[in-house]
Amino acid sequence: MSLPVLVVDDSGMSRKLTIRALPKEWDIEISQAANGFEALEAYHDGKAHVMFLDLTMPGMDGFEVLETLQREGLDCFVIVVSADVQPEAEIRAKELGAMAFIRKPINSEKVIEILSEYGIYEH
Amino acid sequence: MNADIDSQSFLRFIVDRVNVGVVVLNKEMEVLLWNNFMELNSGYSSDDMIGKNLFESFSDLPKKWLEKKIKSVFILKNFAFTGWEQRSYLFRFKHNRPVTGNIDYMRQNCTFLPIMNDAGEVQAVCITVFDVTDTSIYQTKLKEAMGRLEEMSIRDGLTGIYNRRHLENQLASEFDRVRRYGGILSIILFDLDHFKNINDTYGHLAGDEVLKSISSRLEAVLRNSDIAGRYGGEEFTVILPNTDAEGAAILAERLRKEVEESEIIYDGQKIPVTISVGVTLLSDNIENHEMLLNQADTALYYCKENGRNQVKLFDKTMTLI
Amino acid sequence: MSIEPYSEDQRDALQEITNIAMGQAGSSLAQLLDVFVVLSVPRVRIVEVDSVPESVEEMVEEADCVTVARQAFYNNLRGETLVIFDHRGCKDMADLMGHDGSLDENAEEELILDVSNILVGAVLNGLGEQIETDFGFTAPNIMARSVPVDTVLSKETLGWSHALFIEVNFSLEDRGFKCHLIMLMPEESIELMRQSLDKILESF
């Protein structure tokens, strides 16, 4: 079965850039969400074993998604993809359970490095 | 000759001779470059300065401030500016307006530019110092002139107190303020009794003198927060923020008495003057400031009908005119 | 002059590159003040000249007493930025910089100019990097000082019919501090920006 991967960002362009940065040969099933609410819904539908998550979004932002996942004890490998590049933003995201933090603009080397580090993807 | 070398030497020449101060500092605040403008104005040559800490030669520089500024350029990799309007000068240099300037030192605008290496690290900071003494003198004069113009545009030409336009603006904004944040507001509208007779009997110049005299008495009676002005020919308005009807009526009565007892002398003749005064308080049913004025005007009208030289507070039994 | 509105993709691309640029500016502000800066989603739109003062007014909540720093940027694309601080923002900023209420007027203006220059520099350099433009900047100046927000632009003669209006907000956690950065670019820049955005969109 393909791995369910969810890309969460309010910007369609940004989602496209993230998807383009994912390894081509990776056997995955990609879903997209444009805000926190959609992300949690997709998670509950089983579409998010791995989540690429933006932080600044209207409605429910990325921090709130992380909080909810943590509070409800949900299991998901979250990689934050953020334009908010304050060191404090990375610390907070990781405290809330994010496994990795990628600064925008995203590039595929960084993605592959993180995925390999955690053994999610071997190339 | 090699074209590249040529352009390098051009650049060196220009940086040295351009009529702008150019200084390059490293992180330790040591001077790496000191151009001709700086030499001429400071009296220190490039040889004196290079390799030395800037503060050794210039103990009067704002050390703490400048260090912070330079540090921010190193950390944030971003240019910075300072303008004469906030900080008159960085270096205490003589200026070229010794006679007509009326200022102490050369006014300066400065720019702080990060100089980066290939790795994107800031190596040094370049400070450019522009002499803006002339600009600052013109600007200051212009600002003063604009200030005077603005003041004139809100003053009544004859009496020097506020004019109708300014009064209406102030009243409108006081009205908005009370509606938005709550509070109380009263106004006084008064009118000289039989002013036409004064003009006819003593002449228009005497009439003008009366208006001026009333204006200065008015200003003497008011408190700091009150706003008074000439509303029309012989009509005056006073805006009283944070004042209830009782307070406004007391002030109005004091004013009426002050005028009645005043001795206005013109051309050796004593001119008797009295005023009729309408007072009103802003109540909930009033929709705009014009309506408030209208109520005061109605109270004023009842004074006139009732024999003049008196104060009347608007009440609901009065029919609006 | 009629202006073709940006397509949904163009608007989205501009919002996203602004978002990235804003992130860099927020990080600079965080370093300067040593606090965590809360970022919100930037807004981009094309507005008619008549609605600009209104659009500015809409952004600012505490509208009674604002101070505005203006700065121009130029290359092919050109425009002006306004950084708007409310009264509370000025005070908070002074506190954070260690001036506990002791600032005189000039020192406060200097601080406002410094902070707005840092934000403008970071946002525009961030934007410029992504659209391959190296901006020049004029020195910032105080355009309005402690005035109601509706008077900020009312005295200005705006010599164009449409402008690209980009709005970025910064606020500080646990404080009332809020400042608003507006970039305004006139007509010809709207078209140049459109070309840059198309180039980005074509690249994937």
Give the model confidence (pLDDT) of B219-277 as tens digits.
888 888 899 999 989 999 999 999 999 999 999 999 999 999 988 888 888 999 999 99
Q: Which residues contact C86 (CB under 8 A, 6 or more apart)?
A: C60, C61, C62, C63, C65, C66, C178, C179
Nearest CA-CA partner of C138 in C61, C72, C203, C64: C72
DSSP string covering B77-99 = ---EEE-TTTSS-SS----S-TT
pLDDT tens, position by position, C157-176:
677 788 899 999 998 887 77
Enter the ipTM. Answer: 0.86
Q: Do B87 and C113 touch (CB under 8 A)?
A: no
DSSP string covering B159-227 = T-SB-HHHHHHHHHHHHHHHHHH---EEEEEEEETTHHHHHHHH-HHHHHHHHHHHHHHHHHHS-TT-E
Taking only Cα atoms into account, the Rg of chain B, rounded to an integer number of angstroms, comes to 33
Q: Domain residue spans in chain C?
A: 8-202
Average of per-residue pLDDT values in chain B: 91
Nearest CA-CA partner of A16 in A63, A54, A47: A54
Q: Which residues contact B287 (CB under 8 A, 6 or more apart)?
A: none
Domain spanning B154-313 has what CATH number?
3.30.70.270
- pLDDT for the residue B4: 63
Strands A77-82 and A50-53: parallel
Contact predicate A53/A81, CB 8 Å = yes
**pLDDT(A57) > 70:** yes
Q: Angle CA(C154)–CA(C159)–CA(C162) in degrees, nearest 5? A: 95
**Domain(s) of CATH 3.30.450.20: residues in chain B:** 3-140
- pLDDT for the residue C58: 83
What are the chain A neighbours of C15 within 8 Å (beta carbons)?
11
Considering only alpha carbons, which residue of chain A is nearest residue C27?
A: A86
* Average pLDDT score over residue span B154-179: 92
- pLDDT for the residue C101: 60
pLDDT tens, position by position, B306-318:
999 999 999 888 8
Taking only Cα atoms into account, the Rg of chain A, rounded to an integer number of angstroms, comes to 13
Tokens of B189: 């509208």
- pLDDT for the residue B180: 84
Q: Report the SS3 class of residue B272.
A: coil
pLDDT tens, position by position, B23-46:
999 999 999 999 999 999 999 999
Contact predicate C166/C44, CB 8 Å = yes
| C-alpha B17 chain-centroid distance | 40
A/B touch flag: 3 or more CB pairs below 8 Å: no
Distance, in Å, from the CA atom of B201 to the CA atom of B206, rounded to the nearest integer, reads: 9
Partner-chain residue, chosen from C28, C107, C141, that has the shortest CB–CB distance to B78 = C28
Q: Do B80 and C114 touch (CB under 8 A)?
A: yes
- pLDDT for the residue C25: 92
Q: Which residues contact C100 (CB under 8 A, 6 or more apart)?
A: C94
Contact predicate B187/B175, CB 8 Å = no
Q: Do C16 and A13 touch (CB under 8 A)?
A: yes
- The rounded percent of chain B whose pLDDT value lies above 70 is 98
Q: Which residues contact B91 (CB under 8 A, 6 or more apart)?
A: B21, B38, B41, B42, B58, B61, B106, B108, B129
Considering only alpha carbons, which residue of chain A is nearest residue C129?
A: A105
Q: Which residues contact B292 (CB under 8 A, 6 or more apart)?
A: B171, B175, B185, B187, B280, B282, B286
- pLDDT for the residue B96: 82
Overall residue count recorded for chain A in this entry: 123
Among positive and negative, which fits the CA dihedral B296, B298, B299, B304?
Answer: positive
Q: Report the SS3 class of residue B37.
A: helix
Burial of C108 (0-12, 13-18, 19+ CB in 10 A): buried
Domain spanning A3-117 has what CATH number?
3.40.50.2300
Q: Do C113 and B83 touch (CB under 8 A)?
A: yes
pLDDT tens, position by position, A19-45:
999 999 999 999 999 999 999 999 999
CATH superfamily of B3-140: PAS domain (3.30.450.20)
pLDDT tens, position by position, B12-21:
999 999 999 9
Strands A100-103 and A77-82: parallel
Burial of B247 (0-12, 13-18, 19+ CB in 10 A): middle
**pLDDT(B1) > 60:** no
Q: Do A11 and C36 touch (CB under 8 A)?
A: no
What are the chain C neighbours of A14 within 8 Å (beta carbons)?
16, 19
pLDDT tens, position by position, B179-218:
888 899 999 999 999 999 999 999 999 999 999 999 999 9
Burial of C190 (0-12, 13-18, 19+ CB in 10 A): buried
**Domain(s) of CATH 3.30.70.270: residues in chain B:** 154-313
Distance, in Å, from the CA atom of B122 to the CA atom of B246, rounded to the nearest integer, reads: 69
Strands C141-147 and C66-74: antiparallel
Interface of C with B (CB under 8 A): 28, 31-32, 106-107, 109-110, 113-114, 117-118, 121-122, 125, 137, 139-142
Cα separations (Å) of B167 from B130, B154, C64, C152? 44, 8, 20, 22
Q: Does B80 touch chain C (CB under 8 A)?
A: yes
CB crowding B77-115: b at 16 or more within 10 Å, else e: bbbbbbbbbbbbbbbebebeeeeebebeebbbbbbbbbe
* Average pLDDT score over residue span B162-167: 94
Partnered with residue B312 across adjacent β-strands are: B278
The CA distance from C41 to the nearest CA of chain A, in Å, is 6
What are the 10-residue block averages of pLDDT along chain C, 204 residues in total?
Answer: 86 94 92 88 89 83 82 92 86 75 79 91 92 91 86 73 91 84 92 93 84
Tokens of C104: 């005189």
Q: Do C125 and B111 touch (CB under 8 A)?
A: no
Contact predicate A118/A29, CB 8 Å = no
Say which residue the tokens 């001795």 belong to.
Answer: B263
* Average pLDDT score over residue span B106-132: 94
pLDDT tens, position by position, A108-119:
999 999 999 988
C/B touch flag: 3 or more CB pairs below 8 Å: yes
- The whole-model pTM stands at 0.75
Q: What are phi and psi of A105, to 5 degrees?
A: -70, 140
- pLDDT for the residue C1: 59
- pLDDT for the residue B321: 67
Fold held by C8-202:
Chemotaxis protein chec (3.40.1550)
Distance, in Å, from the CA atom of C88 to the CA atom of C113, rounded to the nearest integer, reads: 16
What are the chain B neighbours of C137 within 8 Å (beta carbons)?
79
Q: How many CA atoms lie within 13 A of B17 on its CB side?
A: 6
What are the chain C neighbours of B82 within 8 Å (beta carbons)?
110, 113
Q: Does C39 touch chain A (CB under 8 A)?
A: yes
Q: Report the SS3 class of residue A104.
A: coil
* Average pLDDT score over residue span A63-88: 93
